[in-house]
Chain A
């Protein structure tokens, strides 16, 4: 892997530079480290960082930009006439890439020489067969335009990679030369190195912002694409969800939102009372021994991955509810239902609600409890009439956070809620949610140009916006509440 070699060379240069820098600094101070401005290791670190940062930065940038540039240049080569009616430019380009990679493999395995690959002709050679011989399977015969484009692709990538190696090495050597020459006993190496490290720390902290921007942009672009192909009124107000991969599908979000909200509602109905009461019991009533056993057990529930809850819903809760409730009551025969998913999700949310409420209840000043007890109120009266009203805003915040969790939860609903989109009140009926549909539209063989796939991005954006609003609101409430007693 030449890339690894390149990185290794740059690192080696940095190491050599570090030794050189240290020597030069000590030499300029006649070997007496006390006459240097900084400790000798800072001179070494300065050279090392000056070699590494520009070279590796350039490498990363190049690796990001080169494929885009090559794609753009090669796409120009494919005439509109060469794109079959049933296909798109993107699909043809992926053919080109596959052929180019196939040629690379063939050369690597020694089945073809560089020269031969560059001169291949569709008329004289059966490329599909030659590539199949080295284990590269192509879907169809290679057309001449695709081959020319693939050869051009390899050509450009090859030149790009060579250029990149040269540029990166030059940057490394340049950095080495400049920083070694700069090294002198009066050079403020520590300050320079610390400034460099500071920049890295800031960059690391900014990744959080980059991630958010990435999330929003990636979904925004594809969502815009989607609304270019599908009417937005149907998406937001349509009462029907029936994607059809031959086109002309109804993609209304209302049934999905209904399923999501219904399931979340049931989950909160389970989680809020149980979570709240266990928080109250554990923080106000339980003896130390009970608390030391019960609290970790409830917290274990929070550490269990959601796929485990999903499987629990699928193999235990679903059949149980169907056999003992739904069928005897004549409400349906589906194992996966709103009730199944809601109950299991409620269990998942218990520790979430209870630990948040625990924090909030503990934040209520003891003086308020003491005052109430001194007036003769019983323990429960104190909790109901003094502690809870004081903690109410915080608890509302906790419930909102739990709701946002429930709305964004995926695996439990994928395995427990079913796949049929419907607007119904019967909780023993299978319904589906926004997250389930994101998964089902984006897994499997999908074509990234059709509205049936792109709708997943619009769904994702909707989900993101809803949960974001809930989170911001909840965090705001919790923060305001905390300030009240601090």
Chain B
């Protein structure tokens, strides 16, 4: 590093050597210059690399969640098992629990394996039956309850294979790890290969991952994001309906009407502080005020929506004020000049011109709210919810989950298959965020006016 204030070489000292040749000091300074630039490139490179590593890690881990392993087996819906009285009375049918269906499916799979002669040496019936997901029996039962006419007939049904078999097809499980794993045997994997070759078992796109509700700890293969997506959607609706009008009203007041006094100063300071308050503090606020004090139900989208509204308000207010500020004063003066009141000027002229900016800011605020997790943990959104919430407005008060909370939930479970699910859920979340941000960019490009 050179010190600029240090006295340079005496001016009258004659320079030795050629001007075209750099002396040692110039070389040093130029090298320092080069180094400094390289540091900058390295810093930018690290940032970009981190982004790439982050996205790759999520994609590599998560893409598998969109594929699922299914077994195609012919199941006989035996009347003597499912409807002993033979009268198709829904009450009687409902009495047969999933335990009544399990042997049907397992038997069907065993029969298929034996018919095709695929059974590995010495593999027991129990091991073959265990390859089916626990969820399959429940799915079959729902099908029978919805349509009792299938009883007594034989149908080919697509049922879920269990998480370990699914993991084998996705290279998460191999024979070496199966030796150590109590939930899967190498023989089952052998049979999986044979079944796949015979076309009984296949891997296909899994719509249920997006539409189905969450499933319990030991059946990751059946868990989906349906309730979480719906819950997030409801919360976003609440945020949109509350934060947009309140945020716009607040910004109009602060930008167009507020006199410079203590009260408006206080409001300004509060808004800039709220923008920097840790999100978890909003969760504590929601828990204490909305749940404990106002008595709203836990895990409800309405509470989540309210908390996220308070969090998003500063973002929307800051964006709205910026876009109100960018409307040139000549517009206001022209309106006032032809006799509009101050209020008419703002609502008839300034606000419509600022609308694209406001919309962009709102979408970005919503995107932020969509990814927020910490405050939702505190208001009970972590609960295990299998029921879809009703249609709004009652649905706002039903328990639901939320996308980012579902990710957190799945990371807390033991089965490694849930890591894949959590990453898959992140991909869905990121798709939503990219779509929202793309919409915001599009709106900005299309409608924003430069004055």
Contacts and interface: CB of A to CB of B under 8 A. Distances in A.
B288 A205 contact: no
Given A347-B54, A401-B276, A457 B408 contact: no
Interface residues of A, number: 94
A10 interface: no
Interface stretch (A115-123, A173-181, A206-214): A206-214
Interface string A201-245: 110111111011011001101100000000000000000000000
B47 A306 contact: no
A290 B122 CA distance: 64
B393 A278 contact: no
Contacts of B377: 439, 442-443
Interface stretch (A124-132, A322-330, A362-370, A376-384): A376-384
B288 A315 contact: no
B32 interface: yes
Contact of A218 (B270, B274, B289): B289
Interface in A403-446: 404-405, 407-411, 414-415, 435, 438-439, 442-443
A442 B271 contact: no
Contacts of B430: 304, 308
A294 interface: yes
Interface string A68-82: 000000000000000
A465 to B, nearest CB: 10
Contacts of B246: 204, 207
A354 interface: yes
A448 B43 contact: no
Nearest to A441: B378
B376 to A, nearest CB: 10
Contacts of B264: 205
Interface string B15-53: 000000000000001101101110111111011101101
Contacts of A381: 1-2, 4, 29, 32-33
A457 B276 CA distance: 19
B374 interface: yes
Interface stretch (A17-25, A145-153, A247-255, A279-287): A279-287
A301 B374 CA distance: 19
B57 A312 contact: yes
A335 interface: no
Interface stretch (A28-36, A104-112, A163-171, A468-476): A468-476
A464 interface: yes
Contacts of A305: 370-373, 404, 429, 433
Contacts of A67: 295
Contacts of A282: 40, 44
B422 interface: yes
Contacts of B426: 307-308, 311
A197 B343 contact: yes
B58 interface: yes
Nearest to B285: A215
Interface string A346-386: 01001100100000000000000000000101111101110
B367 A303 contact: yes
B373 A306 contact: yes
Given A298-B51, A443-B378, A212 B274 contact: yes
Contacts of A205: 249-250, 253-254, 258, 264, 267
Interface in B280-325: 280-285, 287-289, 292-295, 310, 313-314, 317
A273 interface: yes
B442 to A, nearest CB: 15
Given A212-B274, A273-B43, A410-B278, A307 B36 contact: no
A274 B249 contact: no
A198 B373 contact: no
Among B43, B314, B370, B407, chain A packs the most CB atoms within 10 A around the CB of B43
B272 interface: yes
Interface in B129-170: none
B279 A281 contact: no
B25 to A, nearest CB: 12
Nearest to A197: B343
A301 B250 contact: no
B280 A408 contact: yes
Given A197-B343, A208-B314, A415-B408, A467 B51 contact: no
A470 to B, nearest CB: 8
B293 to A, nearest CB: 8
Given A408-B280, A472-B273, A307 B373 contact: yes
Contacts of B247: 204
A15 interface: no
B419 interface: yes
A301 B51 CA distance: 6
Given A312-B54, A380-B36, A383-B36, A278 B44 contact: yes
Contacts of B98: none
Contact of A298 (B48, B257, B367, B370): B48
A200 interface: yes
A211 B285 contact: yes
A451 interface: no
Given A4-B393, A207-B313, A218-B289, A274 B58 contact: no
B30 A435 contact: no
B104 interface: no
Contacts of B411: 310-311, 314, 415
Given A202-B253, A354-B47, A219 B433 contact: no
A300 B430 CA distance: 11
Given A281-B40, A378-B29, A464-B277, A442 B378 contact: yes
A292 interface: no
A305 B253 CA distance: 31
A259 interface: no
Contacts of B423: 311, 315
B196 interface: no
A155 interface: no
Nearest to B406: A307
A411 B373 contact: yes
A405 B310 CA distance: 18
A300 B279 contact: no
Given A194-B341, A218-B288, A442-B378, A408 B278 contact: yes
B50 A301 contact: yes
A391 B331 CA distance: 36
A439 B280 contact: yes
A294 B44 contact: yes
B335 to A, nearest CB: 15
Contacts of A88: none
A438 B314 contact: no
A463 interface: yes
Contacts of A442: 283-284, 287, 377-378
A439 B412 CA distance: 13
A297 B226 CA distance: 31
A218 B285 contact: yes
Contacts of A198: 253, 257, 343
A263 to B, nearest CB: 14
Contacts of A265: none
A222 B284 CA distance: 11
A277 interface: yes
B218 interface: no
6 contacts: A198-B253, A205-B254, A222-B288, A278-B43, A378-B30, A471-B273
Interface of B: 1-2, 4, 29-30, 32-33, 35-37, 39-44, 46-48, 50-51, 53-54, 57-58, 61, 245-247, 249-250, 252-254, 257-258, 264, 266-267, 270-274, 276-285, 287-289, 292-295, 310, 313-314, 317, 341-343, 367-368, 370-374, 377-378, 380, 382, 393-394, 404, 407-408, 411, 419, 422-423, 426, 429-430, 433, 437
Given A208-B270, A377-B4, A380-B33, 13 more contacts: A67-B295, A204-B249, A209-B266, A221-B288, A281-B44, A347-B54, A378-B29, A379-B33, A381-B4, A405-B276, A408-B280, A439-B378, A443-B382
Which 4 pairs, one residue from A and one from B, show the smallest C-beta to C-beta distance?
A: A408-B278, A305-B371, A281-B40, A218-B288
